[in-house]
Amino acid sequence: MLARRVGLGAAAVTLIVSASGCGSSNAGPSTLPSLVRDGGSPSQTSASTPTTTNDARENALDRDSTARAEALVREWWASVDKAGQTGRPDLLTSLFMPQCMPCGRYQTTVAQLVEAGERIDGGDHEVTAVSVGPSAGNTVLVDVMVDIRPSQVLDETGTVVRSFEGAPGTSYVFNLASVEEEQWLVFDILTTSGN
């Protein structure tokens, strides 16, 4: 499945506010297969090295690492919602590595809203499913399904500037990197379905 980097521009506000903008970044589109197929078995993680069931078991994260990876993804979406609603892009800083271009775009978009005197009403991201894949070195891919609720961008007077329908069933792949034994950070975010 072709996964595209989360884009900015006009679609960026849509990402934070209520729908997933799927533009291309400066680096261009990336292909990143899901780690888990619909049937629940691991898929290939690269074109040259297929992941077999035994490989996946050997690279499986322990229960605590899996729980921390899932918690980070859930915390990411909760922080995106809070950042957009409070105008505090700094709420995201501790959750991602500097190399995460989509993460920085989320922050920039919130900062641009604040600068324009705008705020977000609604647009919460409800995480409906999380699947943490096997690790590859110090990284792991996490498939996430999110229902993005309808929202509005309001100006300083409370007048609706833009409205968004929402985007139920939007699928993302998070690439997490372990920076310390106990801590995961977001390294990249790709969207594989949605608007």
Lowest mean pLDDT among 37-51, 80-94, 101-115, 159-173: 37-51
Q: Count CB-CB contacts under 10 A for residue 138.
A: 13
Q: Give the global pTM.
A: 0.71
What integer pLDDT is reported at residue 27 of this predicted model?
Answer: 37
Distance CA 125, CA 44 (A): 29
pLDDT over 50 at 110, yes or no: yes
Q: CB 184: neighbour CB atoms within 10 A?
A: 25
Stronger pLDDT, 14 or 140, i.e. the higher one: 140
Average pLDDT over all residues of the chain = 75
Query: In 3D, which of 97, 79, 98, 75 has the Cα closest to residue 88?
Result: 79
List pLDDT tens digits, range 147-164: 999 999 999 999 999 999
* Integer Cα distance of 79 and 125 in angstroms: 10
* CATH label of the domain that carries residue 92: 3.10.450.50
Q: Which domain holds residue 168?
A: 2-191
Length of the chain: 195
Q: What are the helix (H) ranges across 87-156?
A: 101-115
More confident residue, 160 or 49: 160
Cα–Cα distance, 56 to 107 (Å, whole number)? 34
Query: How high is the pLDDT of residue 194?
Result: 63
Split into its structural domains, the chain has a count of: 1
